[in-house]
Structure 1
Amino acid sequence: MNDVAIPSNSTAIYRWRRLCRRTMLARRVATAGTERKAATTVIEAALREILNQTDYTTLGFYWPIKGEVDLRPFVRDTLADRFELALPYIPVRNQPVRFRRWRPGAPMTQGFWNIPIPEDETCLSPDILLIPLVGFDSQGFRLGNGGGYYDRTLKSAGRRILKVGVGFEKTHLPTIHPQWHDIPMDIVVTESGARVWS
């Protein structure tokens, strides 16, 4: 993906990123069960160390789709006693996401893209976000699913949020050719450990 010259205009970059997204998604989905389990164990250990060094109280995470790293058992078993927890939902298409309170065993309903969201409509404002990565680059910029929802959310937050990207090392790119709307992660965690930019 990275030995192809990328023109400097935004249309060409958009096309490149769309192709790159498909390639990275295929790599992520193809990650075998044993490899995925080993990687997730390392990722959880790195996240535990990062979170132990913070005094934040409200953590937003994600319900995994398309081969994303599944942190639900880790969140349920390790974080539920320490943090208020929240899952994202999309109240209006192409607008920032909001976060509903989640607790282990909480009743769920289907949200946007049929991703489960809590039935409890209580909204929280996370000060830490665990954000899934389709791909990421050496400057901490994230390639997501292409909807721009996390970028809109972070831009509109109006306050400091610790942004922790979570993904597999095989989706690391030298650059995603970031555009004006892209917001870099503070930390990216993969099975190779944590990269910190903040």
Structure 2
Amino acid sequence: MANDHDGDSPAQYSSPPRFMHELDPEFRPPLSDWTDVRRWRKAERERLIAARLAVSADARAAMSLRIAQGLDAVIGEISGRMVSLYWPFRGEPDLRPWMASINERGGRTALPIVVEKGQPLIFRAYKPGDRLEKGVWNIPIPAEGDPVLPDIVISPIVGIDPSHYRLGYGGGFFDRTLAAMPFKPLVIGVGYEMQRIDTIYPQPHDIPMDRIVTEA
């Protein structure tokens, strides 16, 4: 009886071999090289920001309100606590009304400031009505005041994975800041449900969020 094939010619199949990306369009091959991870993160960052900006301003405002309500539920009593927030940028949830309510309820608020590339952020106390000036990327920052250390850090996300690892803007400021703080604050990532992804391919320097709050 003849063999199905011999060792001198390649095996013949009824159909060409299939690959996972053909069977499942959502399949993501594992990435181990930091260069590949950075390239993937850059593309994913651009995709997620574009999707966020495509949502109407009214819809984002409604989702921001629900996120603020979710933060109240997670944090509880706010009096006497210092909360670092952020100035909304490129479609991020706008929590400025919630910032005002914190101060009305006896809490204090702060904003992060980029000092220089490759260095941790600092936090400076800010409440609505304080004088602002333009910082990096023209994002408003408090014009004066000594650095403060927040008890709670609210961080906007570009993407978030099931282990609460955050995809940010790629500058590494957030992770350096948390690593340099003398105590561990409560760290809450905020964003929209559409920003959930399977993984950010976390690296040793990445620090996960303690909690995630979305409009859901």
TM-score with structure 2 setting the length = 0.84
Match of 2:73 in 1: 49
Which 4+ stretches in 1 moved above 3 angstroms?
53-56
Match of 1:182 in 2: 206
Query: Equivalent pairs: percent with the same residue?
Result: 38
CA distance in 1, matches of 2:43, 2:80: 37
Report the 3-state secondary structure (helix = DSSP H, G, I; strand = E; otherwise coil) of the residue aligned with 2:50: helix
TM-score with structure 1 setting the length = 0.91
Q: Matches of residues 48-197 of structure 1 in structure 2 within 5 Å?
A: 48-53=72-77, 57-76=81-100, 78-81=101-104, 82-192=106-216
CA distance in 2, matches of 1:105, 1:187: 29
Q: 2:99, 2:127 within 8 Å by CA — same for their partners in 1?
A: no
Q: RMSD in angstroms over aligned alpha carbons?
A: 1.6
Q: If each structure's strand is expressed as a fraction of its own residues, which one has the higher value?
A: 1
Match of 2:29 in 1: 5
Relative distance call for 1:108 and 1:10 in structure 2 (3 A) is: same
CA distance in 1, matches of 2:145, 2:116: 15
Displacement of 1:187 in angstroms is 0.5
Displacement of 1:152 in angstroms is 0.4
Deviations 1:70-95 (A, max 9, x none): 1011111x211322211011122220
Report the 3-state secondary structure (helix = DSSP H, G, I; strand = E; otherwise coil) of the residue aligned with 1:27: helix
Report the 3-state secondary structure (helix = DSSP H, G, I; strand = E; otherwise coil) of the residue aligned with 1:173: coil
Q: RCO (CA 8 Å, sep 6+): is it higher in 1 or 2? A: 1
Name the stretch that deviates more: 177-186 or 39-48.
Answer: 39-48
Q: Which has the larger radius of gyration?
A: 2
Q: 2:78, 2:107 within 8 Å by CA — same for their partners in 1?
A: no
CA distance in 2, matches of 1:40, 1:58: 21
CA distance in 2, matches of 1:9, 1:56: 45
5+ long unaligned stretches in structure 1 = 193-198
In the alignment, residue 83 of structure 1 is paired with which amino acid? G
Match of 1:195 in 2: none
CA distance in 2, matches of 1:56, 1:95: 29
Report the 3-state secondary structure (helix = DSSP H, G, I; strand = E; otherwise coil) of the residue aligned with 1:80: helix
